[in-house]
Structure formats: C-alpha cells, structure tokens
C-alpha cells in the first residue's frame, strides 16, 4: 500500500515527487490528446477544468486519469487507490520468488486498479493470477485496465472479502497483497489529499491496522500448494515485528522483511521449509 504516504507527518511519500508546473501542464495536455480533444477552445476550457480540480486538492493521478506503474499505464480514478512507487518495488520481490517456476499460479488479495496483477502478467507471460477485491467499483476499474492491456486471459478477477473469493480447493504458488494497513485512529491525521480523495476501504484496516494481515495469515499456509510457496506482503514501516509474528504463528519459518528505497521496512516475504 502507500505506507507512510498516508501520514501527514511524512508527506514526501504521498506527493510522489510532484513535478514542475510545466511538466504538469504537458501531462494535462497529453491527457487531452488521449481523449482526442483537438478543438482549441474546447481544449482551453477542459484544461481550465483540470487545473480547477488540482486546485481543489484532487491528486494529480486522478486528474490525469492514467498513471504509469512499472512498464504499464493504468487508468486510475476514485474507484481505487492510486498505485504507489513502493508497490512497484513489491512486484520485484514477487518476481524474485517466482523465478524459475514454469507456470506459476498467483493469488492477489485486494487488487484495486489491478496494478500488481497486471504488472505480473505483463512481465511474466506464463503466470496466471486470481485477483480479488471486496469493492465492485475497484474491480470494474481493474477490469478496464486488464482488458485495455490485453491481459484478461491470464487474470481472473473476482469479488469477495479476502478468502471468500477463493474456492476451497484452490492452491497457489504465491499469495500477495498490499492490504489496507492504517489503524482507524490514524484516519484523521492522514494527508487530506489521501483522506478526502482515495477510498477509505482501501486504506483503513481496523482498530490496530493489523486486521487484514491477521485474516490473510489465517488461511495463507493452507492455500499454498507445494513446499515452495511464498507470501509477499506490503506492510507499514512500523508493522514489521507484528506482521512477522503473525507469519510465524501461521506456520511460516522463513520470514524476511525488506526495506523500501527510503530505508523503511516495507515488504514481508514468508516461506516455509
């Protein structure tokens, strides 16, 4: 997820390196190009509208309507969380776990825009992904994305709360998730650009922030097929100890925490020997 990007105390993550005004103007113009708006009057009116949206505090990514995630361009709007740069790094850890596997079967819980599933399918054509979300809105956006990227043949989108979307008999080589991990009490301290625009359901987990990890680890071990399965999760920078404990309690005995580019604990990889 976006980790400390959520927190007003660490806004640098959130802003994702907001570009210079001239760059923003170029991107807005490109957004109009993509929509096929060529009439100069119409362009000017629409550009004014886009600037007004930015002025109101709407995130640049939503205003542009598309955002780059690794090698793919995704449609983004208020139906789902904006994919963050840390999550691009999480895909690296997933790919590392899948290296050498012939036709890996991956489960992604809480897919949002479909960013992780689509990036995996794009970079690893032999993969098949079941990608779930509780939000019908997010899944509709994910569907748009995987269809326009022509990845729908290897991604199976399903609606349901966590394990409810997975059949009893299904087994996977890898389970990944960037679940909500903000504690309810942190909601009011989030940067307004996050709190006022992105779906709350994508951000908050419950009273402690660990609730989604608890649900995921409750069944993860039994849903991995072979002896080499792995769970790869994005975590909040202060959650490493607790999520590691959940993984160990769930039967994983090889649990590693990896850092993001800012040097903060951000990813957990759990395996069993």
Ligand X SMILES: C[S@@+](CC[C@H](N)C(=O)[O-])C[C@H]1O[C@@H](n2cnc3c(N)ncnc32)[C@H](O)[C@@H]1O
Binding-site positions for substrate read 178-181
Which parts are annotated binding residues? Answer: 110-114, 133, 162, 178-181
Which parts are annotated binding residues for S-adenosyl-L-methionine? Answer: 110-114, 133, 162, 178
Select 201 or 221, whichever has its Cβ closest to ligand X: 201
Can you give the C-alpha Rg of the chain in angstroms? 19
Question: Shortest approach of ligand X to residue 22 CB, angstroms?
Answer: 28
Question: Shortest approach of ligand X to residue 52 CB, angstroms?
Answer: 27
Question: Shortest approach of ligand X to residue 163 CB, angstroms?
Answer: 9
Select 50 or 61, whichever has its Cβ closest to ligand X: 61
Select 162 or 252, whichever has its Cβ closest to ligand X: 162
CB 93 within 8 A of CB 255: no
Question: Shortest approach of ligand X to residue 266 CB, angstroms?
Answer: 12
Select 104 or 112, whichever has its Cβ closest to ligand X: 112
Cβ-based neighbours of 250, under 8 Å, separated by 6 or more: 217, 218, 220, 221, 270
Select 50 or 98, whichever has its Cβ closest to ligand X: 98
**CB count, 10 Å around CB of 200?**
13
* HSE-CB for 249 with a 13 A CA cutoff: 12
Which residue ranges make up the site for ligand X (CB under 6 A)? 1, 80-81, 83, 87, 109-113, 115-116, 132-135, 138, 161-162, 178-180, 201-202
Question: Shortest approach of ligand X to residue 86 CB, angstroms?
Answer: 9
Distance CA 235, CA 256 (A): 12
Question: Shortest approach of ligand X to residue 179 CB, angstroms?
Answer: 5
Select 109 or 174, whichever has its Cβ closest to ligand X: 109
């Amino acid at each position: 997820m976006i980790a400390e990007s959520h927190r007003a105390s660490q806004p640098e993550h959130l802003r994702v390196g907001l570009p210079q005004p001239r760059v923003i103007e170029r991107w807005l113009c490109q957004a109009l190009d993509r929509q096929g708006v060529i009439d100069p009057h119409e362009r000017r009116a629409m550009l004014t509208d886009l600037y007004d949206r930015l002025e109101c505090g709407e995130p640049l990514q939503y205003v542009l309507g598309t955002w780059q995630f690794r090698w793919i361009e995704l449609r983004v709007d208020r139906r789902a969380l904006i994919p963050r740069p840390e999550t691009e790094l999480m895909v690296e850890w997933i790919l590392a776990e899948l290296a050498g596997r012939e036709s890996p079967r991956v489960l992604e819980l809480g897919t949002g825009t479909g960013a992780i599933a689509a990036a995996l399918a794009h970079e690893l054509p032999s993969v098949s992904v079941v990608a779930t979300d509780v939000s019908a809105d997010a899944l509709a956006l994910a569907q748009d994305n995987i269809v326009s990227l022509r990845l729908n043949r290897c991604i199976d989108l399903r609606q349901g709360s966590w394990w409810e979307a997975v059949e009893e008999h299904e087994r996977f080589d890898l389970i990944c998730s960037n679940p909500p991990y903000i504690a309810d009490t942190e909601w009011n301290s989030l940067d307004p650009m996050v709190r006022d625009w992105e779906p709350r359901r994508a951000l908050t987990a419950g009273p402690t922030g660990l609730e989604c990890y608890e649900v995921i680890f409750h069944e993860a071990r039994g849903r991995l097929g072979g002896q080499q399965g792995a769970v790869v999760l994005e975590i909040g920078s202060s959650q490493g100890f607790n999520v590691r404990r959940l993984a160990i309690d769930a039967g994983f005995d090889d649990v590693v925490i990896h850092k993001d580019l800012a040097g903060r604990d951000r990813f957990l990889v759990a395996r069993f020997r």
